[in-house]
Chain A
Amino acid sequence: DIQLTQSPSFLSASVGDRVTVTCRASQGISTSLAWYQHKPGKAPEVLIYGASILQSGVPSRFSGIRSGTQFTLTISGLQPEDFATYYCQHVNSYLVTFGGGTKVDIK
């Protein structure tokens, strides 16, 4: 089974900072990776799918890139509403795998 290793688990940042979250797959998954934002008491929301395709309605400060089996989510200019937990996800025909999550907190 494919494993997704997400790092860091936690990061402290300030409004306006550039933030990067990394997700490494245990084997090649092409561009089959999505990123989600999850706030307490809310439903998770997709930000990026296909490794780099921005979901409609998501601000352009969010971006995703793939380099081999490493995927990166970047928030360019952190906003107050971006403080949340972020997850990467891989879906194949049968199974679904999530990364461990990255909590972005206010410094």
Chain B
Amino acid sequence: EVQLVESGGDLVQPGGSLRLSCAASGFNFSSYWMSWVRQVSGKGLEWVANIHQDGSEKYYVDSVKGRFTISRDNAKNSLYLQMNSLRVEDTAVYYCARRLGNCSGGYCYNWFDPWGQGSLVTVSS
């Protein structure tokens, strides 16, 4: 079964740090782009970061640039999100997701499947 399981969510004070992990199983982890997505309570989904299969390319939403770092360990089938200088507005459920892609008739498209069940990060004093 293809599965993603997040861990590491916790209560942390503003300015603090936290590392989220995402354990992958049931597929060849090293063959896929991976992403982190978050959802603030009562709000919509917000993409946070992407990482290439070999870790050579990383992209972030502007609001976390310079504070968050996405990484992966293909030998451990694991994805990580190091979060530093945390702010109250980073409080959210964080999901990891696998990116899939295909091309047809000269057009290419991507989507996320599966997603993990989410890990709650609470930033509060």
Contacts and interface: CB of A to CB of B under 8 A. Distances in A.
Do A and B assemble together?
Answer: yes
Contact of A42 (B110, B113, B117): B117
Nearest to B48: A96
Interface string B43-57: 011110010000000
Contacts of B102: 49-50
Nearest to A48: B111
Contact of A95 (B45, B59, B104, B115): B59
Contact of A33 (B100, B101, B109): B109
B120 to A, nearest CB: 11
A96 B95 contact: no
Interface string A83-105: 00101010110111111110000
B59 A94 contact: yes
Interface residues of B, number: 26
A93 to B, nearest CB: 9
A43 B45 contact: no
Contacts of B109: 30-34, 49-51, 91
A6 to B, nearest CB: 9
List 5 A-B pairs, minimum CB-CB distance, nearest first.
A96-B47, A91-B110, A49-B111, A34-B111, A43-B115
